[in-house]
Structure 1
Amino acid sequence: MGCCCSPKCCLVSGLVVAALLLVLGGVLIPIGDHIISSTVTKEAVLINGTVAFDAWVQSPSDVYRQFWFFNVTNSEEFSLQSNSSVTVKPKLKQLGPYTYKVRHLAKDKLVYHPNDSVSYVLPQQAIFLRDMSVGPEEDLITSINMVASALPVIMGFPGVLNSFYKKTNTSIFHTRTVRELLWGYKDPILESVASTGIDSTFGLFYPYNGSNDGVYTIFTGQGDISRVAIIHEWKYNKSMNFWPDEFCDRIKGTDGSSFPPFLNKKNKLEFFSSDVCRNLVAEFDQRRKLKGIDVYRYLLPTSLLSASNKNTANQCYTEYLNRTGCTRDGVLDISSCKGGAPVFISLPHFLDGSREYIDDVEGLEPNREDHETYLDVEPTTGITLSVTKRIQINVLLQPVKQIDIFKNVPQDYIFPIIWLNETGTLGDDSAKAFREALTIPMHALFSVQITLMALGSIGIVVSPIVYFSVKSYCAN
């Protein structure tokens, strides 16, 4: 009788085939992992000719920056209040968004160095998008006068400043267009001292168009992929030269647009932001799908802006708060990188900040969905496929007895001026190309591995059943 009719032979054949399928599926796992690792390591290096290089030089994502202004609706009432027992709170009404397309220009002035690094600048340009905005750039906003409130802190000499303020008819608040507040206007106070060489133009983001935030030098990843995109220097320095402690001052991490590949969700992402003059960290929150691509979502921890008595790592970031003995959460004093101007950064509407900041004024309503910052990063390549960065700019307003316009200010305020939402998400065409280049092959390889191992497992279970069934049948 042939072997095909032998139950024992069938059992042995079935078990051998099943075992081979299991082994083949198991062998494909390290082979597949090696293929993926080798491909990513090769294509993630930031040199001409790699996939990562093209996306790095010219971002495939459209980046938008939306602005919401805090319009002061009772500016006259607040300014004219006297030293009475009843304090007039500033009333704020959020106006926006005013939307601009930004960061759409390619990186420029690329220079490669022998230590496997490359220097570049990122040209800045903002294009107003009326169809994505609540109104035109000519809309009027009543806001705190940042120049007037900052000069007493920067210069001192309140008596001299009081004379300047009277001469230029300066008040606590002023009304300007959206364009002026963002991109610059001739300030009468600064014009009065223009002979000293001080630029008389002031704007929250002046200068912007045609400018850049400095020369970056980052590692290309050639020779060591774990260093790809890590900042080596900014403005030819390894430190910011803003903060008194090396721990805070030394530049760490990437610029946030990408990270070294093969992310472990247990590890924090570290990146430098020139907008807030410091290093930031983000922690893993959850796995998500973004246009068919598996990503890790990372959030900024609430401890990032905690008072230094709660997070000692913030000790060198809280100069004003330390000086005044304040232990409130939620703000970062960046005056040291703004020429001494008392500028404070927070999350919009003081999200995760101390309640006192919110209660000092009327009109703030923090909520996590609208005011949280997050990054969606593809973990195999380390590429940030979507980012939502939300920042609020505030200025210190405090009573100054020798200056008429400030003498009746009832207390110190961290006064909200504007908050911004900068978003960039991989476009549909780029997402399709990403899926075809990485996601689909990875899923196909994984499916083959699982299928082979599943068939092998089924074969091992089914073969004895078939053997005993055939044996029983033959016996009968």
Structure 2
Amino acid sequence: MPIACFCRGLCCWCCVPRAFYSGPRRRGKFGRCPLNGWACMLVYLAMGSAVGSIAFWAILPDLYTQLLHSRLVLSQTAEGGQLSPSTHFWAHPPADTLMHFYMFNVENAANVTYLAAKPRVTQKGPFVVRVVENKRNLEFFEDDTKLRYRNYKTFIFDPEKSCKECQYNTSITQPNLVAIGALAKLKDFSAYNLTPVARKIIDYGIILLGETNFIDVKFGELMFDGYSEALLQAAHSPSTKLLSRYLNNGSNLFSFPLPESDTMAMFYKYNNTDDGEYVIETGKRDISQVGKIDSWSGLDQTLPMEWWSTSSARMINGSDSGAFQPPGDVNRSSVLNFFSSYMCRSFRLQYHSDSTIEGIPSLNFRVSGDDFGASGNSGFSSTNFVNCTLSGSKPDCSLAENLCHSCCNGSFVNGTYLLPAGMYPISCYPGRNKTAEFQLIYSAPHFAYSPPEVFTSVDGLSPNSNAHVAMSFDYEPTTGNPVQVRIQFQISVPIFRNRDLT
């Protein structure tokens, strides 16, 4: 059957001879044609749509990725300098941030001091503190590829979320940070140019001032408000300066570093303050670098040598507190980095498991016990004044169970001794570019990452590998943004015998 077909643009139609078609007809430029001849045009349109759809879906992921990345760049509008939505939420996070403090109350302080008894503690908590964060003094520069800012924190005690017995004025028996720190400094007297006479004056002075290894102090005073400390008051007095002139070669009698104030608290004068100036990448030049720290508190990606003994330990890696990870590059084989100014160092996160947070598919990453403590990185070792003369067979100090052995010189690295696994010393004032002047140790709660010799040395500790995970981050892998962060750690005061002091 002869059929005549005609096309113009996207319009095509076909006509058949009258003898072969008796249906309705229409008149056009090319004669009378059957109305259903337009079906050919629909076929061509369908084929064109299919090809277009395939092409569209082929390029859609790239378009979506480009659009998403453009939204993740830290930026501001050209007119008026208003922050983009994502930048605004980062600078003024709507997240509910709570700090839960659990305090160990020493029940047998007198027996520990005078009879060398094993410490017995009970846990009190939580004392809940709400944290409000605001990033201020934002300044974009270098064609908006870098951003300078300061992160201010406000701490507000929340009595309703705290336990019934956990009030701001609740008294707790705690180690005396100042006295114990001073005694530790006296042990290393040669490093501070202390004469024997000066050492004796400080030794007896600590006794005369009524300083003991443990004190009763209120929660609010210990953490934020501060409490009067006799040793600090004496150290800053005019009388001490006069004695220093004649009895310690003209140097300050307290030639070792002491807090500048005569008031002591863990976070004294921290409220509504920042933790130093940050300079970070905005992601405009390379989205995989968004949030990466270029400098912190005037330090260009390297912490002071006084803090850590190796270059790898001193590196400032990743973003501030893990707020950013490379978008689209967070997967189960990723090793992620972040820097914590309050913990004076960088950490590595490794994949742990898949998770779902508020319906959002996520990947859970954690800091391993080896990376958290000094055993995985000798740069986080601490000065340990205890030594011994080996006799008999030497233990294998490469084994974790022998690291606590009193004669394990295998743990002697770079002129000092490694702490047991799962802990490291505080080297700076939390959130400050300033070397710490006190003896404290960070660890997982209840020494969960440490060998039994550590947590069994204190009655009342019950480490749990599931409940006491130190650092856990859940990231949405496409954006690299955290959807849940859980950080918990323990601060301990090292106490050791010193037979050279009273």
TM-score for both structures, normalised by structure 1: 0.75
Alignment of 1:363 onto 2:425 = no
Distance 1:317 1:200 in 2: 30
Amino acid at match of 1:178: F
Amino acid at match of 1:296: L
Distance 1:101 1:320 in 2: 35
Alignment of 1:303 onto 2:395 = no
- State whether residues 345 and 393 of structure 1, in contact with CA within 8 Å, keep that contact through their aligned partners in structure 2: yes
Alignment of 1:334 onto 2:439 = no
Q: State percent identity of aligned pairs.
A: 26
- State whether residues 381 and 416 of structure 2, in contact with CA within 8 Å, keep that contact through their aligned partners in structure 1: no
- State whether residues 286 and 296 of structure 1, in contact with CA within 8 Å, keep that contact through their aligned partners in structure 2: yes
Distance 1:285 1:326, change over 3 A: closer
Larger Rg: 2
Distance 1:114 1:402, change over 3 A: same
Tell me what 2:231 maps to: 189
CA deviation after TM superposition for structure 1 residue 20, in Å: 9.1
CA deviation after TM superposition for structure 1 residue 363, in Å: 0.7
Distance 1:400 1:335, change over 3 A: farther
Which fold has the larger relative contact order, with Cα–Cα distance below 8 Å and residues 6 or more apart in sequence?
1
Query: What SS does structure 2 have at the residue aligned with 1:320?
Result: coil
Higher alpha-carbon deviation: 171-180 or 279-288: 279-288
Q: Please give the residue correspondences for 1:4-403 in structure 2 after superposition, counting only pairs within 5 Å.
A: 27-48=55-76, 49-81=83-115, 88-102=117-131, 104-114=132-142, 116-134=145-163, 135-154=166-185, 156=189, 158-183=199-224, 184-195=226-237, 198-238=260-300, 239-241=302-304, 242-255=307-320, 256-265=322-331, 266-308=333-375, 311=376, 314-320=377-383, 322=412, 325-326=417-418, 328-335=420-427, 338-372=435-469, 373-403=471-501
Distance 2:51 2:272 in 1: 60
Distance 1:17 1:249, change over 3 A: same
Q: Deviations over 1:315-353 (max 9, x none)?
A: 111133645645621111223664342221111111111
Distance 1:154 1:210 in 2: 32
Tell me what 1:409 maps to: none
- State whether residues 44 and 50 of structure 1, in contact with CA within 8 Å, keep that contact through their aligned partners in structure 2: no
- State whether residues 307 and 330 of structure 1, in contact with CA within 8 Å, keep that contact through their aligned partners in structure 2: yes
TM-score for both structures, normalised by structure 2: 0.71
Amino acid at match of 2:75: I
Distance 2:281 2:133 in 1: 21
Distance 2:107 2:50 in 1: 72
Distance 1:387 1:93 in 2: 27
CA deviation after TM superposition for structure 1 residue 260, in Å: 2.4
Distance 2:214 2:461 in 1: 19
Unaligned runs of 5+ in 2: 4-43, 77-82, 242-258, 385-411, 430-434
Unaligned runs of 5+ in 1: 3-15, 82-86, 405-476
CA deviation after TM superposition for structure 1 residue 21, in Å: 9.7
CA deviation after TM superposition for structure 1 residue 24, in Å: 7.0
Higher alpha-carbon deviation: 141-150 or 87-96: 87-96
- Alpha carbon RMSD of aligned pairs, Å? 2.7
Distance 1:22 1:298, change over 3 A: farther
Query: What SS does structure 1 have at the residue aligned with 2:326?
Result: coil
Distance 1:287 1:324, change over 3 A: same
Distance 1:302 1:328 in 2: 11
Distance 1:327 1:25, change over 3 A: farther
Tell me what 2:245 maps to: none
Distance 1:168 1:20 in 2: 92
Distance 1:34 1:218 in 2: 26
Question: Per residue, is there more helix in 1 or in 2?
Answer: 1
CA deviation after TM superposition for structure 1 residue 80, in Å: 1.8
Distance 2:370 2:57 in 1: 40
Q: Deviations over 1:407-434 (max 9, x none)?
A: xxxxxxxxxxxxxxxxxxxxxxxxxxxx
